[in-house]
Amino acid sequence: MTKLLVGLAHTEQEAIILLNNLGREGIEEKHMGAVAKEHLDLEMISEQTGLPKPLKGSGTDGALGALKGILAGLGKRMHQTAAIGTVVRRLAGNEIGTETDDLILTLTEAGITEEDACYYEDWLLQGHILIFVECSEEQAERVKRILLF
């Protein structure tokens, strides 16, 4: 059975260390990823870990993207997530903050408790980074030790 584990990184440097350690432990690139509020945070992580370039998600394009630009101009900035890695592709472009439950719903659909999902959203709003790993039961204990570094 596959498990989805989440690690918390305060900085880009911590995220790079965690992802590189996971890779050295044998976790394939397609089974790990990172999510952050700021797109720039993930650019450096992508470059230093070999993970794909950040995705912003479809929510940032088209008419909805234009509406978000207008709201930002009015001082109602909507925060969104950016993501790197196949395992977190669905998290790219999720809105975060007090007026939305976009990210929380996506995380709970993935099997994360609502309480944890709310905590993870707060973590992102503080400018930190989430590391996600999809792994087997056998790998889970080794992955947990790395994520708790």
Percent of the chain with pLDDT strictly greater than 70: 85
Confidence at 1, pLDDT banded by 50, 70, 90:
confident
* Alpha carbons 62 and 84: distance in angstroms, whole number: 22
pLDDT recorded at residue 101: 87
pLDDT recorded at residue 74: 47
> Any idea which of 52-56, 77-81, 135-139 has the lowest mean pLDDT?
77-81
Query: pLDDT tens, 94-110?
Result: 989 877 888 999 999 99
- Checking if the pLDDT of 120 tops 60, the result is yes
Residue identified by tokens 């993970």 is: 51
- Checking if the pLDDT of 61 tops 60, the result is no
The predicted model gives 30-56 an average pLDDT of 91
pLDDT recorded at residue 57: 62
Query: Which among 4, 21, 2, 9 is positioned nearest to 123, based on CA atoms?
Result: 9
CA 53 to chain centre: 13
Both tokens assigned to 109: 């659909």
Residue identified by tokens 């880009």 is: 12
Chain mean pLDDT for the chain: 86
DSSP state of 64: H
Domain boundaries, the chain: 2-147
Per the rule left: phi > 0, alpha: psi between -120 and 50, beta: everything else, 62 is left
Percent of the chain with pLDDT strictly greater than 90: 70
pTM comes to 0.85
Note the residue count of the chain: 149
DSSP state of 18: H
